[in-house]
Every structure is written in structure tokens, then in C-alpha cells.
Amino acid sequence: MIEILSYQFMLYALIASILSGLSCSILSNYIVLRKMEFISDGAAHTAFGGIAVAIFFGWNMNLVSIITGILFAVFIYFVGKKGKISENSLIGMLFPLSMALGVIIMNLKPGYTPEIESYLFGDILMVNLTDIITLGIILLSVIFFITIFNKELKYFSYNERMAKIYGVPTELIRFLFLIAVALVVVTSVKIIGIILVTSMLITPGVIAKLWAKSINQMVIISSIFGLLSSFLGIYFSYYLDIPSGPSIVVLLFIFFLINYFLKKLIKA
């Protein structure tokens, strides 16, 4: 472990993975309860288009990714708000469009672009201090959001119709939640990868749901497993010389299997 910390790039990767893992794990509870798993997949694939644009023009990757994420969330919210087209339908149209545009843009760029493969599956070598600062700000924003709107998020997650009756500003909560998910996804792709980030936004919440009796308990449990999988994922990726994203995702699924069968055993 000391050997890993002696390398700056590994220290950056470790900190970034922990920050990203915590942000994803916290939001995963509400995604699972609201059955909005598709949105994380959509936001991740939509980010591909923004990344391709940034690479093609040589723009700041973090800034373009964040703008792309916000535009995705705003579009989903305002078009889906009309009620004629469901959020899932919109996401189902948007993410293949973004992927297609990304592929076209990258094909217009002369030469080989190895950065794209790194963004698809995650690459600890790409993480820098700016990424850590960005992920730190995003994590603090997520914590602030769920703290300020703790009661409203509970109503929103369990029963949106009842939430409206009790005067919960469900439209505001939905809008802010979409923004939060999009920002967490687009800032996490360097560590976990576009294809794999969905796992971090679903699996911790699923594990937590097996044991927790309240949302607050879910947040704590999911955060623990998000933290463990991120930390150990980077550790194994270094010593086994494998990509960080797949390492984190495989560990998360192993944690799920252990908890699932343990829960079955206790019930039996």
C-alpha cells in the first residue's frame, strides 16, 4: 500500500476514485428507489459526444463534459415535463445520438485517438489535480443537496404522488436530481469509464436496499461499499495491471453476490 502512495498518479487516482465512488453511491439509493436506472446509462453515453467534441477541438475536457451533462439533464427535464414523451424514451433516443455524433466527430479527427478507449473503460493515468478538485466539489454539492432536501427526497423517492399532496416541490427536486446525476456521471468517466459508470450508480444502492430500513441507512451502507470498491479497485488495478473501471465494477458485483447470498442465508 505504501508503494502505491509513493507515486503521485496513483495517489491522485486513489483520491479521485474515492470521491467519485462516494458521489455515485449516495445517488444510487435514490436511483434504485425511483427505478431510474436508465438515466445513469443515458447520461454516461451522452457524455461521449461531449468528450469527442473536446478532444477534436482541444478544449477543456472537464468543462465540456459538465456542460454536456447539464444540457442532457435540462433537455430530459423540460421535454419530459410535457408528459407526452417519457424520460426513458428521451434517454433512449439521446444516448445513441450522442454516441453516433461522437464516433463521427472522432472519425473526422486525423490520426489515432487513444483517449477515447480510456474514457470508455476508465484510466487512472488520466487523472490530474483538476479532476480531484472537480470531483471534490461535485461530492460536496451532492452531500449538500441530499442534506438540504433530505425530507423532500424521501417523499420523492417512495411516492411522488403523495409528495405532491404534502406540498413537496417535486418538479424542483426532479430537476436538481437530474442535474446531480448528470454531473456525477460525466465527472466520473475518467476513473470508471463511460460503459461501466452505470454500475456505480446502481449496485451500491441495490446492496444497501438488501439491509437498510430507511433511506438514511441506505446512504450509509451504499457509501461504505462504494468506498471499499473504489479503494480496492484501484489497489487491484495497480498490482494486476488491469483498467481501474473494470476492477471497481467486478468488485462491486462480488460485494453484491456476497450480500445477496448472506441475506438469503440469514432468512433461511
- HEC assignment per residue over the chain: CHHHHCCHHHHHHHHHHHHHHHHHHHHHHHHHHHCCHHHHHHHHHHHHHHHHHHHHHCCCHHHHHHHHHHHHHHHHHHHHHCCCCCHHHHHHHHHHHHHHHHHHHHHHCCCCCCHHHHHHHCCHHHCCHHHHHHHHHHHHHHHHHHHHCHHHHHHHHHCHHHHHHCCCCHHHHHHHHHHHHHHHHHHHHHHHCCCCHHHHCCHHHHHHHHHCCCHHHHHHHHHHHHHHHHHHHHHHHHHCCCCHHHHHHHHHHHHHHHHHHHHHHHHC
* Confidence at residue 20, expressed as pLDDT on a 0 to 100 scale: 92
Which domains, and CATH codes, for the chain?
A: 2-260 (1.10.3470.10)
* Residue 3: Cβ-neighbour burial (10 angstroms; 0-12, 13-18, 19+): exposed
Sites in the chain below the pLDDT cut of 50: none
Its pTM stands at 0.88
